[in-house]
């Protein structure tokens, strides 16, 4: 890292975060990769996000130095991560100018920040649309250049207490911090990138989820309070099937239970917990696991209107229908599953007609969900139609394997 170059320090959440105000899950990595980092680098600043330098879960010397001394700090307060709000407060306390606040437009203000200039953007949930990314890059780059040049006061503290003198950091000490950062390899960012690469390249012939789980475990040890890392570790653990399918599922259940899914509002937590319990039922035929799967999936679907948990909620109702003897209960369960699938299809088909749909990164899963719902409702023509659309979009072998597995189970239940 060239210590002489201007530095922008980005403070924000990372990974997928739930916005409880709007019941949406936002992938904040997409905000960083598609808006913030390109705009910063186009402005000839070195862009550093907190997880790129963190080697523990605490705010250490290097992070305080960057919060205090960085030529620019960009803080994305979307989903109101308490660490981000704390670090923004520290920045406002130690630096009168050169701070930009970002917020996704659907997230409400938790308190009065209206006196601050806030840059807003639109998030599609899984990703940022191409047009929106281009717009935001251009406008954010112009704002960055304006702020760096003008150095107008943007800290409320220094705006109201005009005679306050900001603390200082020795230039040699700051240069030393930057030099040390360039040598860091065992950072949160490095482990996360390795884990994602293992996940992307995993296939039926070469299962790399065990290696991915090991990376997520290292990250989780560094930042034990970050639930996104726990979620991903649980997901990769059950997909690893090591040392056996049943053992992997049991290990994954222990991991995800740390997030207390029964009381959670987080769609990702509920979806992973439901998937683990459903597979444990399929392995053991223990109805306790099926009941837990229905509980977790149903909670995610009913609280957040989430299509993934909704689709699996309906499937688990089918499994329960096959295991009960009472004819009236069978009819009741069948109708609940049918109603859920019809609602999911109606919602998702509207989504596919949206002008921004082609910009979404989860198109394949939208098509997959519509397809399996139609198959479950005995509409094979539309099931095939959306299956073909899914096959035109998926990028990783494991995605096709997941779809084929789900389709096979649905057809087996439907025809039994």
Same domain, 160 and 193: no
Give the residue-averaged pLDDT of 85-94. 93
Q: Residue 113 has what pLDDT? A: 58
**What is the residue-averaged pLDDT of the chain?**
88
Domain membership flag for residue 28: yes
Please tell me which residue, 341 or 129, carries the higher pLDDT value.
341
Domain membership flag for residue 15: yes
Give the domain-ending residue among 182, 199, 226.
Answer: 182
What CATH number does residue 149 fall under?
Answer: 3.40.50.450
Same domain, 150 and 283: no
Residues in the chain: 416
| 3-class state of residue 152 by DSSP | coil
What CATH number does residue 313 fall under?
Answer: 1.25.40.10
Same domain, 307 and 270: yes
Pair 69, 171: CB distance under 8 Å:
no
* Percent residues over pLDDT 90 in the chain: 57
pLDDT of 6-52, one tens digit each? 899 999 988 888 887 777 888 899 999 999 999 999 998 989 888 87
Domain membership flag for residue 314: yes
Q: pLDDT at residue 410 above 60?
A: yes
Give the residue-averaged pLDDT of 227-238. 95
Domain membership flag for residue 387: yes
Phi, psi of 365 (to 5 degrees): -75, -30
Same domain, 40 and 21: yes
* Helical segments of 183-208, H only: 188-201
Same domain, 138 and 235: no
Give the domain-ending residue among 182, 208, 237.
Answer: 182
Q: pLDDT at residue 330 above 70?
A: yes
* Percent residues over pLDDT 70 in the chain: 94
Same domain, 319 and 197: yes
Q: pLDDT at residue 374 above 50?
A: yes
Ranges 11-20, 49-58, 271-280, 304-313, most confident: 271-280
Please tell me which residue, 370 or 413, carries the higher pLDDT value.
370
Q: pLDDT at residue 112 above 70?
A: no
Same domain, 157 and 20: yes
Please tell me which residue, 110 or 391, carries the higher pLDDT value.
391
Domain membership flag for residue 2: no
pLDDT of 376-400, one tens digit each? 999 999 999 999 999 999 877 778 8
Same domain, 159 and 207: no
Please tell me which residue, 263 or 127, carries the higher pLDDT value.
263
Q: Residue 2 has what pLDDT? A: 43
Same domain, 94 and 175: yes
Same domain, 173 and 257: no
Q: Residue 150 has what pLDDT? A: 87
Domain membership flag for residue 243: yes
Q: Which of 107-111, 272-276, 283-287 is predicted least confidently?
A: 107-111
Model pTM above 0.75 = no
Q: Residue 136 has what pLDDT? A: 94
Same domain, 280 and 355: yes
Give the domain-ending residue among 141, 167, 182.
Answer: 182
Q: pLDDT at residue 75 above 50?
A: yes
Domain hosting 55: range is 7-182
Q: Residue 23 has what pLDDT? A: 73
| CB neighbour list of residue 170: distance below 8 Å, 6 or more residues apart | none
Q: Residue 59 has what pLDDT? A: 59
Give the count of domains, the chain: 2
Quote the tokens at residue 269: 């937590």
Q: Residue 115 has what pLDDT? A: 55
Domain membership flag for residue 1: no
Give the residue-averaged pLDDT of 297-324. 92
Nearest-Å Rg of the Cα atoms of the chain is 24
| 3-class state of residue 48 by DSSP | strand
Same domain, 366 and 336: yes
- Dist CA 202 CA 210 (whole Å): 10
Domain membership flag for residue 234: yes
């Amino acid at each position: 890292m060239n210590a002489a170059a201007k530095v922008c320090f980005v403070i924000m959440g990372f990974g997928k975060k739930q916005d409880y105000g709007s019941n949406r899950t936002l992938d904040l990595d997409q905000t960083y990769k598609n808006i913030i980092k390109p705009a910063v680098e186009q402005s000839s600043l070195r862009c550093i996000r907190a997880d790129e330098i963190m080697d523990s879960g605490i705010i250490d010397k290097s992070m305080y130095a960057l919060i205090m001394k960085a030529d620019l700090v960009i803080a994305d307060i979307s989903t109101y991560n308490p660490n981000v709000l704390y670090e923004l407060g520290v920045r406002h306390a130690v630096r009168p100018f050169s701070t930009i606040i970002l917020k996704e437009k659907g997230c409400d203000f938790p308190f009065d920040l209206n006196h601050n200039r806030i840059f807003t953007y639109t998030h599609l949930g899984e990703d940022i649309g191409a047009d929106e990314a281009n717009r935001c890059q251009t406008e954010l780059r112009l704002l960055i250049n304006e702020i760096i040049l003008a150095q107008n006061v943007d800290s409320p503290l220094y705006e109201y207490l005009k005679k306050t003198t900001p603390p200082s950091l020795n230039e040699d000490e700051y240069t030393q911090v930057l030099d040390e950062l360039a040598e860091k390899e065992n950072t949160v960012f490095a482990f996360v990138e390795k884990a994602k690469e293992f996940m992307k390249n995993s296939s039926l012939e070469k299962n790399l989820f065990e290696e991915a789980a090991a990376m997520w475990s290292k990250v989780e040890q560094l930042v034990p309070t970050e639930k996104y890392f726990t979620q991903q570790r649980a997901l990769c653990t059950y997909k690893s099937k090591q040392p056996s399918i049943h053992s992997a599922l049991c290990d994954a259940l222990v991991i995800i239970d740390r997030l207390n899914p029964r009381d959670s509002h987080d769609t990702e937590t509920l979806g992973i917990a439901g998937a683990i319990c459903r597979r444990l039922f399929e392995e053991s035929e223990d109805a306790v696991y099926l009941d837990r799967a229905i509980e977790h999936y149903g909670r995610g679907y009913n609280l957040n209107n989430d299509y993934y948990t909704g689709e699996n909620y309906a499937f688990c109702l089918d499994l329960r229908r096959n295991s009960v003897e009472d004819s009236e209960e069978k009819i009741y369960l069948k109708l609940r599953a049918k109603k859920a699938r019809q609602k999911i299809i109606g919602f998702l088909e509207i989504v596919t007609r949206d002008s921004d749909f082609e910009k979404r990164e989860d198109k394949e899963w939208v098509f997959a969900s519509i397809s399996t719902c139609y198959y479950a409702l005995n509409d094979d023509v539309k099931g095939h139609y959306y299956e073909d659309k899914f096959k035109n979009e998926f990028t990783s072998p494991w995605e096709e394997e997941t779809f084929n597995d789900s389709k096979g189970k649905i057809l087996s239940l439907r025809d039994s």
